[in-house]
């Protein structure tokens, strides 16, 4: 029935009604498009802030990317109506707006393009969307074929709605020179100073073709009439489109190509759809993307995507997992690291996470992230809530809310970067500060970051939470400046341990001692104030209420304060046992481990809930994959490799599992969450956010490379310490590392004494491959034993 995997990492889906939210996504540094299998689209481009070029049918709010995007009849999309001009019969491709039962439907989101193959009424339609590496423009290729035994007269009608652009100057016309429908508008403004900014915005949206349309339409109301999008008046009764410009109306890019096809005949069309500042820009874009250059543009885009293919290629007993790790995972990591989620003020935490992932794709980008971040650090060591990437950028949305955890992530990115690059010299790079032109080394910046975190603690030694920290930031725990974070108690310890480990050979001994002293202190503090019998509490409010405790009716247990306790080496064996039991019983679900449980169903004002994660919002009690990834990390950390793998694996919806299809999620990316509240709302549990913006990918990739396959860089070379799931017998991995290529074959051995590592036929005396030479090729055999 459904053929998930094909060569070339393309998935296929045979009916949009089975998984109506299934979607692929494409991006370059200028734009991003999330293309739903039915034809609906969510796209934005940078100009300089994220903007849309195809709009909702009303004045939509400017917001961060929203999860669980609702689709509706007039949602922006890219649609092709096909009409039999003799019978008047009409259907639309890929599926919406008519949503006819098609004879055949294939949706194939690929790595660098998205394809549909539609057959209906003896007509075949092939549609491909790709991008160029450099332009904010969608490149569409459409082929219509007559598979009937008789000749057919048909109209192909691309309908690209542009929506409510603005209440200023909205209109559209056909430009003969460009062979394009051009929709114009002025971004609304009221303040004079905004006019100067708005002048540079690309207020035009256009659809150009390489074939002259027989007719065109520019107005949505005229096209739709009273018939509705499922039966547009403009296409009724064998009518032709109006060939009229439109003024003050909701514009749409609509063309009509009249075809007269003999049996077997095909017609091909190329379209370009996107935003532009002026006619000149459209002309230049068309020049680069149509006629002679069109194959070039697509090939360039494929190589751009290929450039982010990562450092790992695996072959294991789990083919779905292979496919995901080899193709989709590094692609998701690349998207984040190369575009910074198309924001100009990424949250510091996100920016560092995304940069960390790039260590395994293109570590030069990681270095840039580290240096950019630290140069925006304050002289007292505090990191800002967001990193500004352009001169005009400002801190927006959640970045205006004080969070206390940003420096934690510095040690993690630095660790990944040095693991991969061995670039210890970065610690000596000299950078200025946000509020001082003094130059200090990265080492000093890092020490200051750690010192600042160590200092931001109360008299008990517990770190303040202010209005939030990571992943389940609660805005009412500490706004008065007294509330503390259980998680940050552990995260601070973890960050310090990581920094001590990394900088041991280069840092000042007294400094290291002081950090170690804090680490030692934090274990005791956590036990005294946070350990509640079976797990660690989440925090203590301004008013002294400890929460995330067994007595709580909602939010009784939080995942992060267990995961990070493990990572910070806090619990003893007995504690570990109890914590694992609690997680299994209260947080684990078929869709992964939940962020907290029971989910909050109402505001508890003495335990402030999150700004963006109120009861019922996407992240409350959800399987929040970024947190789940840290849970997996903690399970590797305590050698629970099956628990770890199962956690990772659940992030990819299981194709054999009925619920997978129900939840409408193909594993093209890890969404930021699956709905949780599993014991409260079982019907909606597992529903994907359909949002691929998440730090999860970076962590997932790092865990696969460094923990699952245990191929981690160190100063001397590569350490090999795999933690494969016990059900696997063997696996093969190709690992690129510091310019060398290692072919690694894993073989489970039943006898611990047989465990050994061979490199090019020579058995190593340790698990370290030293002196790896760039350009060389190594054949490695890892005979591993489960449990040793």
Residue 19 beta carbon to a second copy: minimum distance, rounded to whole angstroms: 12
684-688 long-range contacts, Cβ below 8 Å, gap at least 24? 685/589, 685/591, 686/589, 686/590, 686/591, 686/623, 686/659, 686/662, 687/68, 687/663, 688/21, 688/653, 688/663, 688/664
When asked if residue 753 is in the footprint of a second copy (CB under 8 A), the reply is no
Q: Of 641, 462, 670, whose CA–CA distance to 561 is shortest? A: 462
When asked if residue 243 is in the footprint of a second copy (CB under 8 A), the reply is no
Q: Which is nearer to a second copy, 168 or 763 (CB)?
A: 168
Residue 547 beta carbon to a second copy: minimum distance, rounded to whole angstroms: 17
Measured CA to CA, the distance from residue 175 to residue 66 in angstroms comes to 35
Q: Which stretch binds a second copy (CB under 8 A): 220-228, 259-267, 448-456, 750-758?
A: 220-228
When asked if residue 110 is in the footprint of a second copy (CB under 8 A), the reply is no
Active site residues: 472
Bridge partners (DSSP) of residue 141 are 128, 270
Residue 49 beta carbon to a second copy: minimum distance, rounded to whole angstroms: 15
Q: Which stretch binds a second copy (CB under 8 A): 359-367, 499-507, 525-533, 613-621?
A: 613-621
When asked if residue 611 is in the footprint of a second copy (CB under 8 A), the reply is yes
When asked if residue 57 is in the footprint of a second copy (CB under 8 A), the reply is yes
The reply to whether omega before 48 is within 30° of 0 (cis) is yes
Count of beta carbons in the 10 Å neighbourhood of residue 264: 10
When asked if residue 618 is in the footprint of a second copy (CB under 8 A), the reply is yes
When asked if residue 612 is in the footprint of a second copy (CB under 8 A), the reply is yes
When asked if residue 168 is in the footprint of a second copy (CB under 8 A), the reply is yes
Ranges of beta strands (E only) in 176-250 are 180-186, 204-209, 215-219, 246-247
Bridge partners (DSSP) of residue 740 are 737
Interface residue with a second copy, options 421, 432, 521, 614 (CB under 8 A): 614
Place of tokens 């002026």: 278
Residue 354 beta carbon to a second copy: minimum distance, rounded to whole angstroms: 21
When asked if residue 201 is in the footprint of a second copy (CB under 8 A), the reply is no
Measured CA to CA, the distance from residue 366 to residue 420 in angstroms comes to 10
When asked if residue 578 is in the footprint of a second copy (CB under 8 A), the reply is no
Helix (H) or strand (E) holding 487: helix 486-503
665 CB burial (10 A radius; 0-12, 13-18, 19+): buried
70 CB burial (10 A radius; 0-12, 13-18, 19+): exposed
Q: Which is nearer to a second copy, 244 or 786 (CB)?
A: 244
Q: Which is nearer to a second copy, 37 or 446 (CB)?
A: 37
Q: Which is nearer to a second copy, 62 or 779 (CB)?
A: 62
Q: Which is nearer to a second copy, 20 or 655 (CB)?
A: 20
Residue 533 beta carbon to a second copy: minimum distance, rounded to whole angstroms: 31
Q: Which stretch binds a second copy (CB under 8 A): 25-33, 152-160, 315-323, 616-624?
A: 616-624
Q: Which is nearer to a second copy, 179 or 620 (CB)?
A: 620
* Per-residue binder mask for a second copy (CB under 8 A), 448-477, x = binder: -------------------x-------xx-
Q: Which stretch binds a second copy (CB under 8 A): 166-174, 316-324, 490-498, 646-654?
A: 166-174
Distances from the Cα of 224 to the Cαs of 109, 126, 234, 382, 488, in angstroms? 30, 25, 6, 56, 55
Measured CA to CA, the distance from residue 66 to residue 55 in angstroms comes to 15
Residue 702 beta carbon to a second copy: minimum distance, rounded to whole angstroms: 30
Q: Which is nearer to a second copy, 66 or 726 (CB)?
A: 66
* Interface positions, 63-82, toward a second copy (CB under 8 A): 63, 66-68, 70, 72-75
Local structure of residue 585 (DSSP, 8 states): I
When asked if residue 175 is in the footprint of a second copy (CB under 8 A), the reply is no
Give buried/exposed letters for 693-730 (b at 16+ CB in 10 A, else e).
bbbbbbbbbbbbbbbbbbbbbeeebbbbbbbbbeebee
Question: Which residue ranges make up the site for a second copy (CB under 8 A)?
Answer: 17, 20, 56-63, 66-68, 70, 72-75, 97, 99, 164, 167-171, 185-186, 188-192, 195, 221, 226-231, 247-248, 250, 397-398, 400-401, 467, 475-476, 479, 603, 608, 611-612, 614-618, 675, 677, 681, 683-684, 687
């Amino acid at each position: 029935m459904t053929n998930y995997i094909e060569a070339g990492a393309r998935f296929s889906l045979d009916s949009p009604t089975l998984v109506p939210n299934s979607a692929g996504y494409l991006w370059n540094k200028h734009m991003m498009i999330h293309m739903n299998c039915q034809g609906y689209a969510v796209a934005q481009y940078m100009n300089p802030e994220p903007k849309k070029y195809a709009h909702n049918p009303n004045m939509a709010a400017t917001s961060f990317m929203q999860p669980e995007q609702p689709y509706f009849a007039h949602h922006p999309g890219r649609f092709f109506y096909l009409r039999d001009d003799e019978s008047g019969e009409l259907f639309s491709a890929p599926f919406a707006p008519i949503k006819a039962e098609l004879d055949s439907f294939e949706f194939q989101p690929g790595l660098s393009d998205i394809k549909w193959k539609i057959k209906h009424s003896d007509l075949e339609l092939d549609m491909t969307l790709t991008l160029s590496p450099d332009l904010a423009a969608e490149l569409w290729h459409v082929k219509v074929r007559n598979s009937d035994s008789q000749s057919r007269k048909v109209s192909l009608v691309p309908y690209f709605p542009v929506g409510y652009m603005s209440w200023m100057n909205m209109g559209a016309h056909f430009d003969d020179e460009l062979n394009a429908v051009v929709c114009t508008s002025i971004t609304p403004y009221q303040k004079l100073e905004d006019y100067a900014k708005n002048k540079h915005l690309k207020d035009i949206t256009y659809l150009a073709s390489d074939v002259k349309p027989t007719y065109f339409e520019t107005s949505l109301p005229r096209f739709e009439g009273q018939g509705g999008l499922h039966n547009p008046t403009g296409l009724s009764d064998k009518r032709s489109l109006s060939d009229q410009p439109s003024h003050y109306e909701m514009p749409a890019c609509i063309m009509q190509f009249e075809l007269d096809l003999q049996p077997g005949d095909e017609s091909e069309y190329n379209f370009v759809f996107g935003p532009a500042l002026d006619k000149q820009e459209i002309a230049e874009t068309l020049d680069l993307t149509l006629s002679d250059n069109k194959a070039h543009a697509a090939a360039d885009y494929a190589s751009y995507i290929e450039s982010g293919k990562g450092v790992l290629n695996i072959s294991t007993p789990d083919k779905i997992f292979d496919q995901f790790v080899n193709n989709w995972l590094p692609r998701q990591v690349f998207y984040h690291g190369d575009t910074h989620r198309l924001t100009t003020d990424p949250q510091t935490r996100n920016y560092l996470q995304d940069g960390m992932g790039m260590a395994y794709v293109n570590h030069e980008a990681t270095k840039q992230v580290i240096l950019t971040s630290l140069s925006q650090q304050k002289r007292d060591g505090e990191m800002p809530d967001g990193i500004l990437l352009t001169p005009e950028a400002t801190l927006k949305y959640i970045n205006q809310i004080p969070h206390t955890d940003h420096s934690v992530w510095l040690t993690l990115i630095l660790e990944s970067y040095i693991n991969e690059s061995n670039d210890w010299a970065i610690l000596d790079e000299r950078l200025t500060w946000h509020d001082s032109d003094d130059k200090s080394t990265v080492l000093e910046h890092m020490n200051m970051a750690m010192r600042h975190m160590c200092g931001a603690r109360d008299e008990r030694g517990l770190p303040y939470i202010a209005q939030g920290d990571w992943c389940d930031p609660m805005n009412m725990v500490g706004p008065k400046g007294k509330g503390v974070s259980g998680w940050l108690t552990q995260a601070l310890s973890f960050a310090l341990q990581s920094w001590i480990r990394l900088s041991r050979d280069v840092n000042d001994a007294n400094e290291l001692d002081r950090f170690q002293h804090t680490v030692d202190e934090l274990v005791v503090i956590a036990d005294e104030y946070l350990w509640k019998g079976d797990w660690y509490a989440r925090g203590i409010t301004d008013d002294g209420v400890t929460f995330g405790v067994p007595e709580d009716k909602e939010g009784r247990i939080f995942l992060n304060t267990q995961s990070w306790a493990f990572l910070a080496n806090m619990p003893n064996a007995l504690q570990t046992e109890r914590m694992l039991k609690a997680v299994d019983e209260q947080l684990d679900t078929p869709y992964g481990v939940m962020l907290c449980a029971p989910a909050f169903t109402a505001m508890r004002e003495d335990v402030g809930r999150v700004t963006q994660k109120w009861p019922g919002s996407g992240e409350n009690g959800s399987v929040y994959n970024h947190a789940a990834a840290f849970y997996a990390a903690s399970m590797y950390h305590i050698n629970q490799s099956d628990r770890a793998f199962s956690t990772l694996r659940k992030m990819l919806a299981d194709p054999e599992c009925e619920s997978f299809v129900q939840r409408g999620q193909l594993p093209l990316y890890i969404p930021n969450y699956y709905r949780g509240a599993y014991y409260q709302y079982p019907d909606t549990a597992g529903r994907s956010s359909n949002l691929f913006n998440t730090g999860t990918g970076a962590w997932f990739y790092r865990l696969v490379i460094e923990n699952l396959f245990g191929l981690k860089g160190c100063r001397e070379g590569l350490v090999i310490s795999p933690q494969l799931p016990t059900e696997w017998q063997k696996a093969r991995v190709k690992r690129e590392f510091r310019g060398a290529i290692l072919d690694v074959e894993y073989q489970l051995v039943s006898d611990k004494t047989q465990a050994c590592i061979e490199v090019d036929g020579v058995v190593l005396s340790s698990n370290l491959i030293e002196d790896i030479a760039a350009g060389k090729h190594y054949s490695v055999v890892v005979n591993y034993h489960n449990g040793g």
